[in-house]
Amino acid sequence: MKRTMLVAVAAVTVVIVMVGGAYAAGSISPTVNVTGTVSGKCIAGTAGALSFAIPDPSAVGPIVPTVTDATVFCTNNTAFTVTAASLNKGLPSATCASPGGITGTLKDSISGYLMDYTFTCGTAAGTGQGFGVNKDQHLNLNGSIASTSYANATASASYGDTITLTISY
């Protein structure tokens, strides 16, 4: 009987080893595709300002303003174009790139006297490119008033205009 039992145990062992081999652990390697999207975007940084001071209307030559530059932030490598329009001049937005720029009109809110000026911004092509966080791009605002515009101006501290910049990206 010992011999029968030994043969039976050996047979069961062989069956377990065979079944275990058929269900042995293995591995597979599925892949997961990972994608991302970074939107090209521009946002306004600091607002700019031009302040023309004409101390002597009989002076010859253009008057250049005191400038507080405007900035724009764009996603890294996002190209942008700058155009501008003068509220008082009423013309459609146009490139404000140097050297031509756009013509704006300063209007005295008391007398209604008008003085045309030139407004420029951006690089020579009126374009720029974003460089990422904390790297706002300066729009290089500038302007001038020709002596023919201010020679007969009314004395007033109430001249003003609004320039709307459009940043297209």
> Amino acid identity, residue 71?
T
d(CA 131, CA 36): 19
36-69, pLDDT tens digit by residue?
988 888 888 888 999 999 988 888 889 999 999 9
Give first-to-last CA distance, the chain, whole Å.
Answer: 92
3-class SS letters over the chain: CHHHHHHHHHHHHHHHHHHHHHCCCCCCCCCCCCCCCCCCCEEECCCCEEECCCCCCCCCCCECCEEECCEEEECCCCEEEEEEEECCCCCCCEECCCCCCEEEEEEECCCCCEEEEEEECCCCCCEEECCCCCCCEECCCEEEECHHHHCCCCCCCCEECCEEEEEEC
Mean pLDDT value across residues 140-148: 93
The hierarchical CATH code for the domain 42-168 is: 2.60.40
Kindly report the pTM of this predicted structure: 0.76
Tell me the average pLDDT of the chain.
84
Mean pLDDT value across residues 130-136: 78
70-120, pLDDT tens digit by residue?
988 888 888 888 999 999 999 999 999 877 899 999 999 999 999 999 999
Q: What is the percentage of the chain residues whose pLDDT exceeds 90?
A: 49
